[in-house]
Amino acid sequence: MTHSRNPLRLLAPALLLAFVAVSSVAIPANAAPQVISIAEARALPSGTVVTVDGSVTTPSGAFYSSFFDYGFGLQDKSAGIYVSLQTDLGVAPRRQARVTGTLQDNGYGLLILVPVDPSDVVLHGAGPKVPVEAVATGEVDESTEGRIVRVVGTITQAPAIDDIYGYKFYVDDGSGELTIFVNNQTGIDLSGLAVGQIVSVAGFSSQFDTHYEIDPRFPADIVVLSH
């Protein structure tokens, strides 16, 4: 009897063994998560777990009196976001950080990234200097939220205390009045500010309820240009 030597029949066992070997390869539990841009993360639904990498833009805990945490701003070339932590990692601007966390609304309209554990924040060297983006007072909105921006305008309402949270004043360059909110931890002295002065104000583009604001980080973020 002549036996058929069909090459496909001969290859079948070898292909099956190869498939089993490949499918049984385990993915390491500590495999690095996929990093996406902050702009991509901001476009995802609340509750999504993401990993982003950027340069720190605010000192950790600088906004504690109104944010009630020790978080910090983070920005890459595409966008920015606030990382909310209850542990002070002692980070300052220009640190590079890779953060894995859950996207959430802070309850007052601000999109934040919340790590489960401080170990979900990986600091790895120095980050690039984040350029301060010049915008009009009326342009500070959802499109700038999370980034470091600067406005130049006239003080329309003098600094006033806002309960235990900090101080606020208002500026306008003709495009719309904007809230400037100063947290207690920044150490910024507002005693020399008055209605009618033209000031330059830089800081974190933020939101509280229905209004947008800039939260300065350092005394140098507020400069009086004209009395």
Residues 118 and 152 in one domain: no
Query: Other CB atoms closer than 10 Å to residue 196's CB: what's the count?
Result: 10
14-35 pLDDT, tens digit per residue, is 444 444 444 444 545 566 789 9
Average pLDDT, the chain: 90
Count of domains forming the chain: 2
- Please tell me the predicted confidence (pLDDT) of residue 227: 78
Residues 46 and 80 in one domain: yes
Query: What is the mean predicted confidence (pLDDT) over 39-51?
Result: 98
- Decide which of 94, 126, 158 is a domain's last residue: 126
- Answer whether residue 9 shows pLDDT above 90: no
184-193 pLDDT, tens digit per residue, is 999 999 999 9
Question: What CATH number is given to the structural domain containing 179?
Answer: 2.40.50.140
- Decide which of 126, 160, 184 is a domain's last residue: 126
Residues in Cβ contact with 223 at an 8 Å cutoff, skipping those fewer than 6 apart: 199, 200, 201
Structural domain containing residue 97: 38-126
The angle subtended at Cα 182 by Cα 155 and Cα 148, nearest 5°, is 90
pTM of the model: 0.86
User: Does residue 21 lie in a domain region?
Assistant: no
DSSP state letters, 65-84: HHH-S--EEEE-SS-EEEEP
Query: What is the mean predicted confidence (pLDDT) over 194-205?
Result: 98
- Please tell me the predicted confidence (pLDDT) of residue 110: 97
User: Does residue 84 lie in a domain region?
Assistant: yes
- Decide which of 126, 148, 170 is a domain's last residue: 126
Separation of alpha carbons 54 and 98, rounded Å: 7
- Answer whether residue 182 shows pLDDT above 70: yes
User: Does residue 70 lie in a domain region?
Assistant: yes
User: Does residue 17 lie in a domain region?
Assistant: no
Farthest-apart Cα atoms in the chain, separation: 109
- Please tell me the predicted confidence (pLDDT) of residue 28: 55
